[in-house]
A and B are shown apart, each in its own frame.
Chain A
């Protein structure tokens, strides 16, 4: 069990007045300090990352032919996970909005954790895109000036802009706040608050733009419906806070950083509303596909019931719907004094359900049958799975590396506020 040793960390500080280098060094130290369980956790993550890097090396050498993708299912596990984790990233806004707009004190304590999760999710998204590209070294072709950037025609260019912008916002604002707190200063309001409000709008836009990637293609009738963008938002605001809740539970159980239980109830409320809306939208889509069955509904038939003997996704989607409903109900009817493990089960259930339904439960059926009516199954290859796991481990590591020092800095800052004389300001 990792035990947060306050005095040990304090003694490890290089020199609190020394600026950026000291800040970074201390962040590194705090990330690498911890008990045996923590080191095992880090080691597992690094091993998975290593396996992912090896598998990617093979993919870079041989080409994407070693994945399970084909000319029909041209987007697979990578883009599915990208789509899902953009939603998780967008969900940081669900903490920022109450914390800054409604000035909710409880949320203010944990907003940095939400931003850390957002940064980790965005890093995963960028990595997923990179491993999915056929020519990742040629990415400079998109830089306007030295390359050609097909903005505003191509929604992918919009996505490049909004994702990187959001990453900058979610990385720089907490960086500034933590940097100030590290130096026992209160962050100056006008320097970061406008960016916080910008990031609220931006969070909605990253997910709508990512939805528009698919929504704007009349070639793919499964995606080409106006509900896709709103559904993305609804499922993001259910799955994202579920992730944040999982992280908060982990922090509550494993560290001594104080997290008020009211935060869990407030998060739970957000999750329930979003999850219910998501289910309503899902039902709406299912009705449209199956009430009047057209050739456009073949994708939905492939997903839910199988088509021409190809039914590899059928068990997945039904499991996803079951998990979705179970998670929603568990959250909706949670007793007032719900334990951490109850909430964790509910969060994992909802997260997994949405991960399936919005990840490969959305991308693969959109591509099957092909525009010429051909049906194939898609099975990710072992390289593909290893690379995906590697990227996921990278994201988890990034989140750990951001949150662990952040917690130290925040608690030190709060201690400092309680005893201003002792810190010699």
Chain B
């Protein structure tokens, strides 16, 4: 008799635990299920604290899956803009002018024979603008239209958000960095550097 009670009691413990685990599995949706069920647009502007951004931005000329968005301006970061101050209809006549004004620019864009020259991106006639392969003028603030000609895959990713970076906020109006915020257009690859931090060997 006592042994039977014992046996029953032995079974109670695992039964309780199984029951508990079953309940745990049944009670919540997985992340992917929740994502699939979430097809209603989310009003980003409802997050009030995400409104303040003090940077110069422009409205992007293309849209992303959520509609319009803004891009960090670029012209305010170019120290010698407007270029047409020197580059008038006549070629500037200063000895070693290119070296003095633009000598700090090293072009490392394109490999070997494919290395880019200046006028492949800069409009020869109007230095205040960039130019694409078809001769269309592109504003400096919208350089992504130029870069995206060749780098169309990163551009598509950049529009969607898989490339590049948002400025400061995940909510509120979408402001993203433009291509030149991270990539020096003349030498776009990231440089090697020492890491900002290191992790300790974890033993005493």
Q: Which residues of A contact B (CB under 8 A)?
A: 68, 70-72, 101, 152-153, 197, 200-201, 204-205, 208, 374, 376-377, 379
Contacts and interface: CB of A to CB of B under 8 A. Distances in A.
A205 B202 contact: no
B94 interface: no
B21 to A, nearest CB: 9
Given A72-B202, A153-B24, A197-B5, 13 more contacts: A68-B204, A70-B203, A101-B3, A197-B2, A197-B6, A201-B6, A201-B10, A204-B10, A205-B13, A208-B13, A374-B202, A377-B203, A379-B204
Contacts of B203: 70, 376-377
Nearest to A200: B6
Contacts of B17: 152
A152 B16 contact: yes
A253 to B, nearest CB: 36
Given A376-B203, A377-B203, A101 B16 contact: no
A208 B6 CA distance: 15
Given A152-B16, A201-B10, A205-B13, A71 B202 contact: yes
Contacts of B202: 70-72, 374, 376
Closest 6 CB pairs of A and B: A376-B203, A152-B20, A201-B9, A376-B202, A197-B2, A201-B6
Contact of B2 (A68, A101, A152, A376): A101
B115 to A, nearest CB: 42
A197 B9 CA distance: 11
A423 to B, nearest CB: 34
A63 to B, nearest CB: 15
For the residues of B in contact with A, the DSSP-based class is helix
Contacts of A374: 202
Contacts of B20: 152-153
21 contacts: A70-B202, A70-B203, A70-B204, A101-B2, A101-B3, A152-B16, A152-B17, A152-B20, A153-B20, A153-B24, A197-B2, A197-B5, A197-B6, A200-B6, A201-B6, A201-B10, A205-B13, A208-B13, A374-B202, A376-B203, A377-B203
A208 B204 CA distance: 34
A205 B17 CA distance: 13
A137 B108 CA distance: 63
A377 B9 CA distance: 42
A224 B179 CA distance: 49
Contacts of A208: 13
Contacts of A205: 13
Contacts of B10: 201, 204
Contacts of B5: 197
B163 to A, nearest CB: 27
A197 B10 CA distance: 12
Contacts of A68: 204
Nearest to A378: B203
A31 to B, nearest CB: 35
Nearest to A151: B20
Nearest to A100: B2
Contacts of B13: 205, 208
Contacts of A71: 202
A412 to B, nearest CB: 31
Interface in B1-15: 2-3, 5-6, 9-10, 13
A377 B203 CA distance: 7
A281 to B, nearest CB: 19
A205 B16 CA distance: 13
B26 to A, nearest CB: 14
Contacts of A204: 10
Which of A68, A70, A153, A201 is most buried by chain B, counting CB atoms within 10 A of its CB? A201
A371 B44 CA distance: 37
Nearest to A370: B202
Contacts of B9: 201
A70 B200 CA distance: 12
B204 to A, nearest CB: 7
Which of A70, A152, A204, A374 is most buried by chain B, counting CB atoms within 10 A of its CB? A152
B63 to A, nearest CB: 41
Contacts of A101: 2-3
A90 to B, nearest CB: 14
Contacts of A197: 2, 5-6
A205 B2 CA distance: 17
